[in-house]
Amino acid sequence: MTNDYSIIGKSIAMIDAAGKTTGSGKYADDLSVPGMLHGKILHSPHPHARIKSIDTSRAERLDGVVAVVTGKDAPNPFGILPVGHDEHALALDKVRYVGDNVACVAAASEAIAEKALELIAVDYELLPAYFDPEESMKAETNLIHDNKPNNLEKDYHHVFGDPDKAFAEADYIAEGRFLANEVTHAAMEPHCTLASFELDPHTGTLGRLTVWSSTQVPYYLQHKLSLVLEMPMSQIRVIKPLVGGGFGGKSEVIPIEIIAGIAARAAQKPVKITYTREEVFWAHRGRPRTIVDLKTAVKNDGSITAVKARVVQDGGAYCSYGVVTILYSGALLGALYDIPNIQYDGYRVLTNKPACGAMRGHGTVNVRFAFESQLDEIAAKLKMDPAEIRRRNLLKPPCITINGLRVQSYGLPECIDQIVTRSRWSERKGKLPRGRGLGIACSHYVSGAANSIIRSDMPHSTVNIKIDRDGGVVIYTGASDIGQGSDTMVAQVAAETLGCALSRVKVVAADTDLTPIDIGSYSSRVTFMNGNATLRAAQEVKKQIAAAAAKKMNCAPEDIVFRNDRLTNDRLTCGDGSVTRPGDAELRGESPTVSGRVEGQILRGSLQQKRKDEGPKDSMTFEEAVVAAIDFHGALSGTGSYAPPSEARGGKYKGAGVGPSPAYSYSAQVAEVSVDEDTGEVTVHKVWAAHDCGRALNPVSVEGQVIGSVWMGMGQALTEEMIWKDGLLMNPGLLEYRSPSSVESPEVEAIIVESIDPEGPFGAKEASEGSLAATIPAIANAIYDAVGIRLHESPFTPDRVLAALRAQRNAKPLNLTEGVDPTAPEKFREHGGELCFKGKGPKRHESDSARQPAQPGGAD
């Protein structure tokens, strides 16, 4: 009975929606505590330099400044991955990118703190810097990290099956280099952390620390704070208020979160630090610039026999999630199509730029762009319909892929069917007038990583539920709602399981003192893992209520149906749902009232209750049942936890830990675009996006996540790009880093496909990331359909489109930016406080206003 649910599967407003639309909801920067100081951070102006000395004395003397802290105040390294503890909250001896954190001032106001920053004198010794990953890999001296030879953070070389044989026997081999430029999350809320120590009543000195922070991972933050501040985790409380978007940018511990703690300790007062938008760009952790050399072997019937991918990621100055990112790029070559032979060579390279980390679709997006584009090229070569070639390479689940990924539910075939029908693909593909085209692509993503970052057998999620005599259900969950609606998901799952009204459910979330551990909102794990933990906790409570209610109702506990805020004896109704049960009327009308009786009556206790409810009953209200259960058991609470099953944890080879997931989401998309051949401008008119989310617990949220993913993918496809020059970000603002506005955003038709996963909560899987990766190649393929050009470098900006159109006509390329390769300057020196080239420097076009006339005797 798939529709036999009363709460899930129905679109509802998020339970915290009113706080967001009225402005009453509190984000980290909206909080303040008495006596709070404001912190400001001094950043490095150099991409790579040794710190010879820091003089903070003048800043400390400024009126209103309470403390100035530097790296020496907290020298312990940290990093999100246990293998990547290479960061210091404040630089110890070296700075490694423009924007690296050097010192922090805590002062009475932001204005004073900013003034104090100017009084800090730092003496730097400049070092050669590396900006291009392929150049950086050749470095032998002046390494970014001394323990990383050739500036190589990590490389992996995986071979599954026999790719060489498959290539030798292939009917056709496609080969190409793809380049996806760097993008960033640009979540609307700039990072903010407020740290406050309380005085210990026994020692009289600084005791417990409370941190409110815009984070997706409060428990990791608690852990890293403990490492750097050398405090036991039990003395640190991390609270996540409302978070204004993350997309991965807050899925690791950002230096600001630790710096606030260091500054609060030194100042002995609460300190709040909020990044400016420019600082958010420096904090970054976005999707790395990625070079993908891809080779695919196919048979004439379109079946893919082998894939070879060499992936180089420009990881920036620190490890961050890098090791995981480079592994995802290879691992998720599997689990979408049936590919029997895979060779993967991945290189994560350090460069002197802000660290890249996890961003929506972590590690998979740029490789998927390459793969789906190449598959389109193959389809064209084989004169096969691009939708058909995808259908010919489907997996046959349940199965385990060649690289050890277990696939169970698999809605990809239906996703393809849906978009082909809705977009009228067969009638229109290849038949639109020149300049307009359709493109198709598919993608997938994990529903949570099956192996956590910190290796252990600990559950990934635990949820507690407490019900008191008031009939209020309080859920304590570590799930971090960052706007995706996890609090609402948790409330829905619990209300559905307990058969109570949603209005009874209160969610207390993401507070390390109150809520049991959950490893955070990343890798699209929350619905699957925290949802399952919630389900189990609710089932445990339900069992206790059923045991007590069965006595009152004189029936077996398993005969009781919990639904619409009532418990009924299933044997007394027909059991097929056709007979009206008590409470159904309420469901059709307004939501059930919380209490059917006069307020206060319950509190007078169970004796009165008993007298009133003599004899066995056919049904009970939820509240009556709760009272009965508390009388029977003494208290009513339940705990549930979730750990991925061992069968879903992947193979045994080195690097096998990344990629496995208990379930994968699937997406297929068709994009309709037009290309202006005079201006090179690409317009996306509509995207049909079908997403297999297992089961849509809250359809409006699932659609919102799918649309948001497609939209963000479109941003990366057309306009978003971090532009670097000499390690300096050229566009650190929301005007220059162009994400699409409402006038540039296409209609997105989100189509929900439900494959009902056997292990997901009510069959649900991931919905928030999997759709992003398909959008970029779908647009690229649509551009090919429109004007016949293959774009191998994203974003598809007008200059790149025009260059490809000219190449198509064999016209001489218009090289407006000749020689200006922002990623490959030669050498640096300090000159008048600014960076400039030593040596030839970039050549500029004659009409470029930035062109400098040659200076006689100067460093040309």
Binding residues (CB under 8 A) for another protein: these are 11-14, 16-27, 29-30, 185-190, 242-247, 274, 276-278, 482-485, 700-701, 703-704, 707-708, 710-712, 733-735, 739, 741-743, 745, 747-748
Question: Which residues, 6 or more positions from 452, have their beta carbon under 8 angstroms from its beta carbon?
Answer: 458, 460, 519
Give the Cα separation of 419 and 386 in Å (integer): 13
CA angle 548, 552, 558 (to 5 degrees): 60
The counts of H helices and E strands in the chain are: 21, 33
The structure tokens 């206060």 sit at: 600
Query: Sign of dihedral through CA atoms 76, 80, 84, 87?
Result: negative
The structure tokens 């189990």 sit at: 536
Least CB distance to another protein at residue 342 (A): 33
Tell the burial category of 678 from Cβ atoms under 10 Å away from its Cβ (0-12, 13-18, 19+): exposed
Distances from the Cα of 97 to the Cα of 120, 181, 726, angstroms: 19, 18, 10
Structure tokens at 441: 């692509």
Give the Cα separation of 687 and 776 in Å (integer): 11
Give the Cα separation of 228 and 74 in Å (integer): 6
Contact in structure between 672 and 754 (CB atoms under 8 Å): no
Structure tokens at 453: 């970052």
Contact in structure between 775 and 781 (CB atoms under 8 Å): no
Tell me whether strands 505-509 and 560-563 are parallel, antiparallel or unpaired. unpaired
Contact in structure between 445 and 769 (CB atoms under 8 Å): yes
At 392, is the secondary structure helix, strand, or coil?
Answer: coil
Distances from the Cα of 653 to the Cα of 159, 244, 338, 644, angstroms: 10, 38, 20, 19
Three-state secondary structure of 405-454: CEECCCCHHHHHHHHHHHCCHHHHCCCCCCCEEEEEEEEEEECCCCCCCC
Q: Which of 369, 536, 525 is nearest to 449 (CA)?
A: 525
Least CB distance to another protein at residue 689 (A): 10
Amino acid of residue 415: C
Q: What region does 114 belong to: left with phi over 0, alpha with psi -120 to 50, or beta?
A: alpha
Contact in structure between 490 and 509 (CB atoms under 8 Å): yes
Distances from the Cα of 724 to the Cα of 129, 152, 303, 737, angstroms: 13, 21, 40, 12
Question: Which residues, 6 or more positions from 858, have their beta carbon under 8 angstroms from its beta carbon?
Answer: none
Angle formed by the axes of helices 772-787 and 699-718, nearest 10° = 50
Residue 446, strand partner residues:
664
User: What DSSP assignment string belongs to 624-665?
Assistant: HHHHHHHHHHSS-EEEEEE---GGGS--SSTTTTSS--S-EE
Instruction: With residue 365 as reference, give the H or E element that holds it.
Output: helix 365-381
CA angle 473, 476, 477 (to 5 degrees): 130
CA angle 845, 851, 855 (to 5 degrees): 130
Tell the burial category of 4 from Cβ atoms under 10 Å away from its Cβ (0-12, 13-18, 19+): exposed
User: What DSSP assignment string belongs to 458-513?
Assistant: S-SEEEEEEE-TT--EEEEE----SSS-HHHHHHHHHHHHHT--GGGEEEEESBTT
Of 250 and 563, which has the nearer Cβ to another protein?
Answer: 250
Tell me whether strands 342-349 and 304-314 are parallel, antiparallel or unpaired. parallel
Contact in structure between 156 and 330 (CB atoms under 8 Å): yes
Phi, psi of 237 (to 5 degrees): -115, 125
